[in-house]
């Protein structure tokens, strides 16, 4: 039975402060954790076991999180306490959990992709006839510089792989989508117990030996590794659900698309949406305006406040007449006092209390 290793031990620094208190794989996407979206897709492709390659920091979060596992057994493989193993080391660490007779998937935790895993698996099996050890899912993007960029031969062999090329130097727009099928022979390419970057150390070796292949796929693909991309995937999915009915709330103006989880309550004369995701038990007062934003579970937004283009963490308490602007990110358990204005791009660490307005973009630690 094909297994999957999910790399879930990264620091997620680009998603701070929201990632200070949860790994990326637990970020809710339209009120469902990314882990659940991923497991559902893996289950459809016949995967029965997923190995979570975690760190000491991320393991407890994932273990305590209630997620429907879709019939998939979750096993944990933990990096050593003081030695994060990078993107390659955790694969070697999980070697004893993987059958040596069968190919397996490796997935970056922060990818939302509409990909048929069975197709890349088949492609890899065909590539193996040409001695492939790895097949990487490749996706075409407009700005490839943030990613690993691949150049293919006509047989889909990767002849060049450049991790994060300098602006203007990317040979193609095909980028590493963070989804791989690997042959167990890969274990010979990764030293044991060491921090290894699969992108910078292993793939270039495989390119040289002509054993790295690409599988190009279209459709939806987003790396939620940056906060604006996290908001973007929520928006895209809201659009795709636009025809589904969200429940009416008396006295509230709901501008679709929106998504409300269980237990959401909204006071009269509030205007919610478009593009508002309200997590479980979010409580919104009267005359509140929320648009283009994701509000995590348990948060309270009091009367006459507005939130536009922001990400608000779990159990945040926002006072009355507060204004939160575009690009603001509030960590879990933040408290914002009445009448505070947070302009564009203010980011607040978990647990902080904000007494005064912040009128320039800054991080409040």
The contact set with ligand GTP (CB under 6 A) reads 7-14, 53-55, 79, 84-87, 90, 108-110, 225
Indicate the residue among 79 and 201 with the shorter CB distance to ligand GTP.
79
Indicate the residue among 23 and 273 with the shorter CB distance to ligand GTP.
23
Q: How far is the CB of 10 from ligand GTP (least distance, A)?
A: 2
Number of H helices, E strands in the chain: 6, 32
> Burial letters for 322-336: b for 16+ Cβ neighbours within 10 Å, e otherwise?
bbbbebbbbbbbbbb
**Closest Cα partner for 3 from 95, 128, 81, 80?**
95
Q: How far is the CB of 243 from ligand GTP (least distance, A)?
A: 33
Q: How far is the CB of 284 from ligand GTP (least distance, A)?
A: 31
Three-state DSSP class for residue 341: strand
Six-digit token string for 331: 């960590």
Active site residue: 44, 63, 130, 164, which one? 164
Q: How far is the CB of 104 from ligand GTP (least distance, A)?
A: 16
**Closest Cα partner for 270 from 283, 252, 255?**
252
Indicate the residue among 110 and 303 with the shorter CB distance to ligand GTP.
110
Q: Which helix (H) or strand (E) holds 118?
A: helix 117-128
> Burial letters for 84-108: b for 16+ Cβ neighbours within 10 Å, e otherwise?
bbbbbbbbbbbeeebeeeebbbbbb
Torsion, Cα 41 44 49 55, to 10 degrees, reads 0
Indicate the residue among 47 and 300 with the shorter CB distance to ligand GTP.
47
Q: 50 and 4 in contact (C-beta within 8 Å)?
A: yes
Q: What is the CA radius of gyration of the chain?
A: 22
- In terms of C-beta density within 10 A (0-12 exposed, 13-18 middle, 19 or more buried), how is residue 351 classed? middle
DSSP 272-315: E-SSEEE-TT-EE-TT-EEESEEE-TT-EE-TT-EEES-EE-TT
Concerning whether 164 is annotated as a catalytic residue, the answer is yes
Q: How far is the CB of 236 from ligand GTP (least distance, A)?
A: 20
Indicate the residue among 59 and 246 with the shorter CB distance to ligand GTP.
59
Q: How far is the CB of 45 from ligand GTP (least distance, A)?
A: 19
Indicate the residue among 223 and 332 with the shorter CB distance to ligand GTP.
223
Q: How far is the CB of 88 from ligand GTP (least distance, A)?
A: 9
Q: Which residues contact 143 (CB under 8 A, 6 or more apart)?
A: none
d(CA 317, CA 224): 25
Indicate the residue among 190 and 358 with the shorter CB distance to ligand GTP.
190
Q: Which residues are catalytic?
A: 164
């Amino acid at each position: 039975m094909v297994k999957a290793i999910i790399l879930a031990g990264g620091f997620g620094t680009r998603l701070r402060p929201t990632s200070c208190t949860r790994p990326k794989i637990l970020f809710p996407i339209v009120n469902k954790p990314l882990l659940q979206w991923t497991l559902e897709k893996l289950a459809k492709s016949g995967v029965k076991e997923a190995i979570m390659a975690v760190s000491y920091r991320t393991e407890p979060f994932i273990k305590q999180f209630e997620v429907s596992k879709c019939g998939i057994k979750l096993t944990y493989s933990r990096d050593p306490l003081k030695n994060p193993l990078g993107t390659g080391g955790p694969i070697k660490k999980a070697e004893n959990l993987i059958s040596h007779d069968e190919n397996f998937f490796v997935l970056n935790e922060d990818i939302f992709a509409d990909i048929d895993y069975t197709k890349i698996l088949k492609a890899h099996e065909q590539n193996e006839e040409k001695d492939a050890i790895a097949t990487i899912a490749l996706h075409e993007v407009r700005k490839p510089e943030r990613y690993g960029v691949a150049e293919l031969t006509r047989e889909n062999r990767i002849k060049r792989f450049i991790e994060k090329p300098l602006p203007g130097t990317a040979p193609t727009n095909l980028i590493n989508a963070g989804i791989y099928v690997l042959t167990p022979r890969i274990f010979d390419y990764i030293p044991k117990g060491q921090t290894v970057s699969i992108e910078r150390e292993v793939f270039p070796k495989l390119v040289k030996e002509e054993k790295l292949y690409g599988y190009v796929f279209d459709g939806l693909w987003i790396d939620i590794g940056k906060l604006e991309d996290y908001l973007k995937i929520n928006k895209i999915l809201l659009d795709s659900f636009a025809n589904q009915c969200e429940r009416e709330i008396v006295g509230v103006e709901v501008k679709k698309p929106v998504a409300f989880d269980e237990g959401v309550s909204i006071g009269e004369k509030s205007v919610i949406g478009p593009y508002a995701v309200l997590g479980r038990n979010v409580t919104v007062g009267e005359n509140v305006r929320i648009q283009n934003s994701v509000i995590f579970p348990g948060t309270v937004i009091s009367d006459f406040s507005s939130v536009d283009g922001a990400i608000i963490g779990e159990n945040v308490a926002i006072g009355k007449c507060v204004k939160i602007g575009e690009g603001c990110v509030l960590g879990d358990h933040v408290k914002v006092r009445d009448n505070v204005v947070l302009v564009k791009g203010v980011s607040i660490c978990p647990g902080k209390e904000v007494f005064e307005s912040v009128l320039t973009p800054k991080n409040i630690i």
